[in-house]
Amino acid sequence: MRRLLVPLRQYSAALRLLLAFTVIFGVGYPLVITAVAQIPGLKNSADGSPLHQGGATVGSKLLGQGFTDSNGNALPQYLQSRPSDAGEGYDPTASSASNLGPESIVDTLPNPADKSDTGKQSLLTQVCSRSLAIGTLDGVSGARPFCTPDGVGAVLAVFWSGPGYHGHITKVVSLNQTAPAKPFLASYQGVAVQDAVYGQDYSDGQVVPIRGDAPSKPAVPADAVTASGSGLDPDISPAYAKIQEAVIARTRGITVAQVAAVVAQYTSSRPLGFLGEDTVNVLQVNLALDARYPYRAAS
């Protein structure tokens, strides 16, 4: 009987401890933290830093969102966010990155016989196409190193007569361009450059990225053409905001100085004076623009 009582006492003690910890940490602790979070000065952050317009919640200061039309085209009256690989773009339920790295420079070409096949762009071509589109929208040069004028990665496959890339060059292919595109180089070391053809195997060629003559510091900044790790970055760089000010001012019928003043109001300095970079909160700027300088579409 005594042998039975000992484990029963142990199980009873363990059960009481479990119940006590459940009440303390499963009920009491969350209630205390929730109460503390309602203290003025903390409540807004605890609620997710929501932003409001016309009495409705339109987003969060901490989560980015896109400002495009139903076809995915940028709305020129708004400051544009960074690219996003979260779901279909800025999906808070699918936070993610592209997982493409610096060696992603060769596209998977689409099958011309299958209209639904769009291929798969390399990271380099994504950067190049975004830079070209942003440059066109904002009236600045979209040129950047290792990009072709038509917005794909400037990458060649160079074929040699001998093994180990020795001998003389026999063929050169622009890996990311297909007909009817004109190869970004007419020739490479005296050999005519050809367009790539879907289904051809170019794996024996030497992959050669071509820098081109674009400036080392492009007009379109890096954050404008690269997605963040979460895909939900709410901020952009002041440099990216600056190149957008003229088109926003023109679309809203105001001055660039007025747009710049709103951008400056929602520009935050680097934390502690040395961490990260200065940032501009996109949603806050756009809400302020709508409040002060409402956009009226041309009738």
Ordered alpha helix ranges (H), the chain:
2-21, 29-37, 43-46, 123-138, 238-252, 256-265, 282-292
pLDDT value of position 7: 72
More confident residue, 99 or 256: 256
Q: With helix as H, strand as E and coil as C, how does 188-226 read?
A: ECCEEEEEECCCCCCCCCEEEECCCCCCCCCCCCHHHCC
106 has a pLDDT exceeding 90: yes
What are the tens digits of pLDDT across the range 139-193?
A: 999 999 999 999 999 999 999 999 999 999 999 999 999 989 999 999 999 999 9
Q: At residue 1, does pLDDT exceed 60?
A: no
What is the spatial distance between Cα 124 and Cα 279, in angstroms, rounded to a whole number?
Answer: 25
Of 49-58, 83-92, 131-140, 148-157, the least confident = 49-58
The residue ranking higher by pLDDT, 298 or 56, is 56
Cα–Cα distance, 279 to 81 (Å, whole number)? 12
Determine the 3-state secondary structure of 246 from DSSP.
helix
- In the predicted structure, residue 11 carries a pLDDT above the cut 90: no
Question: How many angstroms separate the CA atoms of 272 and 228, rounded?
Answer: 22
Distances (CA, A) of 14 to 19, 20, 24, 28, 271: 9, 10, 15, 20, 47
Question: Average pLDDT in the 220-248 region?
Answer: 96
- pLDDT of 4 reads 62
Of all residues in the chain, the percent with pLDDT exceeding 70 is 95
Q: Which residues are CB-neighbours of 210 under 8 A, at least 6 positions away?
A: 146, 154, 155, 156, 184, 185
DSSP reduced 3-state for 282: helix
What residues pair up with 156 in beta bridges, in sequence order? 174, 208
**Binning pLDDT at 50, 70 and 90, where does residue 53 land?**
confident
Token digits of residue 190? 């005296």
pLDDT for the residue 3 = 66
The fraction of the chain above a pLDDT of 90, given in percent, is 71
What confidence score (pLDDT) does residue 51 get?
86
**Can you tell me the mean pLDDT for 90-108?**
91
What is the model's pLDDT at position 181?
93
Overall average pLDDT of the 97-125 stretch = 94
**pLDDT given at position 6:** 63
- Which stretch of 37-51, 150-164, 212-226 has the lowest confidence by average pLDDT? 37-51
For the entire predicted model, the pTM comes to 0.84
**CB neighbourhood size of 94 (10 A):** 14
| pLDDT tens-digit readout, 202-211 | 999 999 999 9
**What DSSP string runs through 13-29?**
HHHHHHHHHIIIIIIIH
Confidence of residue 46 (pLDDT cuts 50, 70, 90): low
C-alpha 159/C-alpha 167 separation (Å) is 10
